[in-house]
A = this chain, B = another copy of it.
Amino acid sequence: MSVYKMTEIVGTSPAGLEQAIQEAVGRASKTVRDIHWFEVKEIRGTVKEGQVGEYQVRLAVGFKLDD
């Protein structure tokens, strides 16, 4: 029976929502093997002089634990 662990990560990017998600997923994959899925928990961002500065997307990522 598989068991999965969830970790919460915030990816940031000035480029857009998908880029912020990919930042988070890519960084998490450096430490954890076998990430299977992610869930978006929150979308926030910073603003500078009337422009979006960066997007901040909080994800829960799920990965399989070794037996």
* A37 and B29 contacting across the interface, CB-CB below 8 Å: no
Q: How far is the CA of A59 from the CA of B46 in the complex (A)?
A: 12
Shortest Cβ distance from residue A56 to the other chain B in the assembled complex, whole angstroms: 8
Q: Which residue of B lies closest to A8 (CB)?
A: B6
Q: How far is the CA of A6 from the CA of B17 in the complex (A)?
A: 19
* B2 and A6 contacting across the interface, CB-CB below 8 Å: no
Shortest Cβ distance from residue A51 to the other chain B in the assembled complex, whole angstroms: 7
* A61 and B36 contacting across the interface, CB-CB below 8 Å: no
Instruction: Write the A11-39 contact mask toward B (1 if CB under 8 angstroms, else 0).
Output: 11110111111111111111000011111
- List chain A positions with a Cβ less than 8 A from chain B: 1-14, 16-30, 35-40, 42-47, 49-52, 54-55, 58, 60-62, 65
